[in-house]
Amino acid sequence: MSIKEHQLHIYNSLTRQKEKFVPQVDGYVGMYVCGPTVYNNVHLGNCRTFISFDVIYRYLLYLGYKVRYLRNITDVGHLLDDGEDRMSKGARLDNLEPMEVAQKYTLGFHDIMRVFNTLPPSIEPRATGHILEQIEMVQQILDNGYAYVKNGSVYFDTLKFAEQTGEYGKLSGRVIDDLIAESRDNLKNQDEKNHPSDFAIWMKASDEHIMKWNSPWSLGFPGWHLECSAMSTKYLGQHFDIHGGGNDLKFPHHENEIAQNLGACHTHPATYWLHTNMLLMNGKKMSKSDGNTISPDELFSGESIHVSKGYSPMIVRFFMLQSHYRSTNDLTDEALLAAEKGFKRLMEANKTLQQLATNNNATSPLDDKVNEIINAAFEDMDDDFNTPRALAKLFELVTIINSLKEGQLNINDISVSVLEKLKSAFSTIIFDIFGLKDDAESSAGPVDGLMNLIIELRQIARTNKDWPTSDKIRDTLSELNIQIKDGKEGSSWSYK
Ligand code: AMP
Ligand code: ZN
């Protein structure tokens, strides 16, 4: 396995600085990203985070790493502020078994990830499939003295942990004394905790609670943060390379995850912590609870008061790439209209580029410039996956491509080898790394390709004066309501 000669640097939220990326094991990367809570449909804000990590995953693959990418499905333990489990609430509202709710929204999530052309993770573990591992971890934390049992629930002892390790609050930058009860289980069982910032790692279930399991402490369920600690440890080991999620997860979720891993295994789970910034809509965070949300389907169909028309998934993906994953990204109709134009221009330029040909074998005046821009685009990606800057470089190339086509630049000003390099780099970045697809081509499906093939076969038959075959092709197409027009530029087809 060979890793491309690149100097990838990543901004690490834990150290608050950009660091050279050095994986634990040469050539291999372990990456864990917190996945969705499957109690209702994902919104575009969630999609932004998963698309950002898809580009990161794709870039690591491009660099030649063998990546084990985990993205979990949270199907238990993520409580609402009133203490009700999100899954139970989903089940109650839809009159379904909690597992039916999880299945329904997991499938919906997969559909939407496919529509956005994101690559599936290598492993997608579910919290409910790893209750034993979570119970084991609670026991380890208890054995190490960082948790206590109260009335069948187990709480992480943040004060003791902070005093002994000095670690609590490092990721989120919070000081233990300032921590008022911000954990999501805060309103429930508050009086059982020794300190307001302690959080439940196992909760005793009330009689009406639907999802519960036997444990040494009670019939209950794991705390929300525990699943990620237990599942990342199981599949990536006690210490792995990258841990990611939206920056709203830094506290309490990721802070508590780190505490649990340290509390159980005495080691930090991940070297690099990556956090995506929030997708806004018209200047405000997109979130379900504030009602400031738009579903992917509403955006694609245009059936929403927030947009004047529908935008295809690839336009939306392109729009997401236009801002860096650590910056906020404001979804507005104007921004989407601009993204639509930019996306089409990029796709058109790629088509033009792939058809350009030069006869020049010598080194030529444009070569250095084109090489420089291509290298700069990759350097942008090496600089903490800076997609907007890399996109800007691609648009510098678009200008050159269009000038070569229109004749403002002479096609013989570029050498064969650099033109080939440009063709390959351009499509590698837009398709393999950015994960875009040409909407025009994908919506035409295979029909265009098949029709071109049939027209070509008919042409061969005619050249060979094989009239029965060419007549059969014409007559059969005519029965299918398709007509072929022969013109100076070649033959084309249309429906009658
Ligand atoms: P949840 O299903 O709420 O656990 O969220 C799944 C992922 O989406 C988490 O990584 C969240 O941080 C992320 N997320 C939620 N809202 C937004 C938003 N408006 N913009 C970007 N990411 C978000
Ligand atoms: Zn998580």
The residue contributing the CA closest to ligand 1 atom 9 is 246
| Shortest-distance atom of ligand 1 to CA 249 | 12
Distance 178 CA to ligand 2 centre (A): 23
Distance CA 300, CA 118 (A): 17
Q: What pLDDT score does 184 carry? A: 46
Distance 12 CA to ligand 1 centre (A): 19
Distance CA 50, CA 116 (A): 10
Task: State if residue 246 touches ligand 1 by the CB under 6 angstroms criterion.
Answer: yes
- The pLDDT averaged over each successive group of 10 residues in the chain (496 residues) is 85 98 97 94 95 98 98 84 74 81 94 97 97 98 98 96 91 71 53 90 91 96 95 98 97 96 97 98 86 90 90 97 98 97 97 94 92 98 98 98 96 96 98 92 64 87 90 88 73 70
Residue 211 contacts residue 99 (beta carbons within 8 Å): no
pTM above 0.85, yes or no: yes
Ligand nearest to the CA of 292: 1
Distance 42 CA to ligand 1 centre (A): 9
- C-beta neighbour count of 16 within 10 angstroms: 11
Distance CA 270, CA 14 (A): 10
- C-beta neighbour count of 443 within 10 angstroms: 10
Ligand nearest to the CA of 287: 1
Distance 246 CA to ligand 1 centre (A): 5
The residue contributing the CA closest to ligand 1 atom 18 is 45
Return the structure tokens found at 132. 């034993």
DSSP-derived secondary structure letter, 213: B
Q: What pLDDT score does 453 carry? A: 86
- C-beta neighbour count of 224 within 10 angstroms: 27
Write b or e for each residue in 133-159: b if 16 or more Cβ atoms lie within 10 A of its Cβ, otherwise e.
Answer: bbbebbbbbbeeebbbbbebbbbbbbb
Write b or e for each residue in 345-378: b if 16 or more Cβ atoms lie within 10 A of its Cβ, otherwise e.
Answer: ebbbbbeebeeeebebeeebebbeebeebbeebb
The three-point CA angle 43-49-50 to 5° equals: 90
The three-point CA angle 204-207-211 to 5° equals: 65
Whether the ω angle into residue 120 lies within 30 degrees of 0, i.e. cis, is no
Residue 433 contacts residue 391 (beta carbons within 8 Å): no
Task: State if residue 230 touches ligand 1 by the CB under 6 angstroms criterion.
Answer: no
Return the structure tokens found at 184. 């999501």
For the CA atoms of 467, 468, 470, 472, what is the dihedral angle to 10 degrees?
Answer: 160
The residue contributing the CA closest to ligand 1 atom 12 is 246
Task: State if residue 245 touches ligand 1 by the CB under 6 angstroms criterion.
Answer: yes
Distance 221 CA to ligand 1 centre (A): 23
* DSSP reduced 3-state for 397: helix
Closest listed residue to residue 229, CA positions, set 272, 183, 277, 263? 263
Distance 324 CA to ligand 1 centre (A): 16
Phi/psi region, residue 385 (left: phi>0; alpha: psi -120 to 50; beta: rest), is left
Distance 245 CA to ligand 1 centre (A): 8
Residue the block writes with tokens 């080898």: 417
Task: State if residue 55 touches ligand 1 by the CB under 6 angstroms criterion.
Answer: no
Pocket test for ligand 1, best of 49, 56, 80 (most atoms within 8 A of CB): 49
Pocket test for ligand 1, best of 40, 105, 248, 251 (most atoms within 8 A of CB): 248
Distance 281 CA to ligand 1 centre (A): 14
The residue contributing the CA closest to ligand 1 atom 5 is 36
Distance CA 314, CA 333 (A): 15
Return the structure tokens found at 466. 């094989």
The residue contributing the CA closest to ligand 1 atom 19 is 45
| Shortest-distance atom of ligand 1 to CA 42 | 2
| Shortest-distance atom of ligand 1 to CA 244 | 10
Pocket test for ligand 1, best of 33, 39, 41, 46 (most atoms within 8 A of CB): 46
Distance 45 CA to ligand 1 centre (A): 6
Closest listed residue to residue 390, CA positions, set 446, 345, 433, 347? 433
Ligand 2 is an ion; its neighbours by CB within 5 Å are 34, 228
The residue contributing the CA closest to ligand 1 atom 15 is 46
Task: State if residue 248 touches ligand 1 by the CB under 6 angstroms criterion.
Answer: yes
